[in-house]
Amino acid sequence: MENNLCCTEGQTFVIRTFDMKEDFEELYWKVCKGEIDKADALFLASHPSYLFCIADELRKAEKGDAVTYVVNRNINFTNICVGDCKFCAFREENGEGYLLSIDMVLSKVEEAVNNGATEICIQGGLHPDLVVADYCGIIERIKSAFDVHIHAYSPMEICHMATNSEMPEPEVLKALKDAGLDSIPGTAAEILDDSVREVICPGKIKTDDWIEIIKTAHRLGIPSTATILYGHIESLEERIDHLFKIRAIQKETGGFTEFVPLKFMRKNNELGRFVTREFTFWESAAVHALARVILHPYCVNVQASWVKLGLTEVQQMLAFGVNDLGGTLMEESISRASGSLAGEYMSPEDFEQLITDAGRRPRRRSTLYELL
């Protein structure tokens, strides 16, 4: 049997013909060595049963039956934002938004630490009046009072700080690190294709800017996560191309701690009025499995988001290359505003039960994947 894969207009994928029996075996070894290309990935996507099997085998070889999670708290410190992302229902532009005081932030951190949190994740809207000193001040106050890992400020927020403060982005990152920043979330990636970004987030940083900020952070010793926002207007080819961009960065810097697919939430946002089709479970499974296969062996942690997928689906993702389920969060505003029904908090006990019920072994971790 033969299968012809042809590229779509504007893509760089080549036409390739596969003999199913012989090429499956050859392709498996290319995956194991981290040598597959985009045409290989398209071929795997067109044969999901084989893709899922390889992803699960790689997960088992790299991570065994352990499934990790982190006890953390998410703090969205402001919803005031000058951005224009069409997928966002969190942003407030009309004078009714909030900006947490530093005392309120410290109170939330104290509550989290008292409940065993080892990580504080801080993100917010692009407030028009905040400068680098304000963002550094939040970190410094937390670090002066608590021994906790601070995972904060996406590449878009870093770009915003640089603009508001009239500073180069590398200097912003150095200032944040000096203030006590430990790692950054690799959000604002959405789809790393400017034609897609022009539609879904026209005012956001371009692909090359996101990549440069991430690589600069890694060079400065600031690790990050990596993400993709899938299930809206992007094509399969664009999702695959995004994954190969992440792989190229990781091969160069080694700075990504994990890769996190984030499913688009359709409710209460402008983009959702036009994207009427709900992404299926199997399509989500393919995104997670492709992440495991394409990023192997350079990025060994693939996370599924219980907030985006819900508890049933996130548990099932453990069969498709996933080895991590993220954090307890304790509060979460951004996904909830766009229709997430999964809640804002999952206790360590609930994480462990969810993982155990899936036949896996739960392990609590740090932000940098040290087992605790």
Domains of the chain (ranges, CATH numbers)? 2-46 (no CATH), 64-365 (3.20.20.70)
pTM, full prediction: 0.90
Residue 111 is given by DSSP the state H
Dist CA 41 CA 39 (whole Å): 5
Question: CA-CA distances (angstroms) from residue 223 to 16, 128, 217, 250?
Answer: 37, 27, 7, 11
Crossing angle (nearest 10°) for helices 155-165 and 207-219: 90
CA distance from start to end of the chain: 49
Rg (CA), the chain: 20
What's the angle, vertex CA 204, arms to CA 203 and CA 206, rounded to 5? 115
Contact present, 288 and 299 (Cβ < 8 Å): no
- Among 149, 159, 157, smallest CA distance to 182 is for 149
* Phi, psi (rounded to 5 degrees) for 325: -115, 20
Residue in the structure block whose two tokens are 């106050």: 141
Supply 38's token pair.
Answer: 């985009």
Give 10-residue mean pLDDT values along the chain (372 residues): 35 44 81 96 95 96 97 94 86 79 96 95 95 98 97 98 97 98 97 97 96 98 98 97 98 98 88 87 98 98 96 97 95 46 77 96 98 94
pLDDT score for 90? 72
Q: State phi, psi for 364 to the nearest 5 degrees.
A: -80, 140
